[in-house]
């Protein structure tokens, strides 16, 4: 099956810093999503991005489907950005594979 790898596994930054999170996948996929899991456990949708680039405020994401990776950029980090970031790739409607996540800690 498809393998999904996220890097780095952990990232500690000072408030105001920028960061890049990476998601590699081993085969062609239909869709790709980025989520932020907040401290209470809820998975919040950040981007639905099977290809191309999208931006939402301080966050942006780029997926290069032909090279099988996606990047999530966070600029001017805030403490509220802390949490775990997951990418998930869809190979079918029911087959959705999650990466193991990047734990981001933003220090004030």
Give the residues lining the site for other proteins (CB under 8 A): 30-31, 33, 35, 40-45, 48, 86, 88, 90, 93-94, 96, 98-101
* Of residues 85, 108, 81, the one with CA closest to residue 10: 85
Closest approach of Cβ 29 to other proteins, in Å? 11
Question: Taking a C-beta distance cutoff of 8 angstroms, is the pair 36, 83 a contact?
Answer: yes
Q: Which is nearer to other proteins, 47 or 74 (CB)?
A: 47
Q: Which residues, 6+ apart, have CB-to-CB distance to 75 below 8 Å?
A: 18, 58, 59, 60
Closest approach of Cβ 36 to other proteins, in Å? 11
Q: Which is nearer to other proteins, 74 or 84 (CB)?
A: 84
């Amino acid at each position: 099956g498809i393998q999904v790898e996220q890097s780095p596994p952990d990232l500690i930054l000072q408030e105001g810093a920028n960061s890049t999170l990476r998601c590699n996948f081993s085969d062609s996929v239909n869709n790709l999503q980025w989520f932020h899991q907040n401290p209470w456990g809820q998975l919040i949708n950040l981007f639905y991005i099977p290809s191309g680039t999208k931006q939402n405020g301080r966050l942006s994401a780029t997926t290069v489907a032909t090279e099988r990776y996606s990047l999530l950029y966070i600029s001017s980090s805030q403490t509220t950005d802390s949490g775990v970031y997951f990418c998930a790739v869809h190979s079918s409607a029911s087959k959705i594979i999650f990466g193991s996540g990047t734990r981001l800690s933003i220090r004030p």
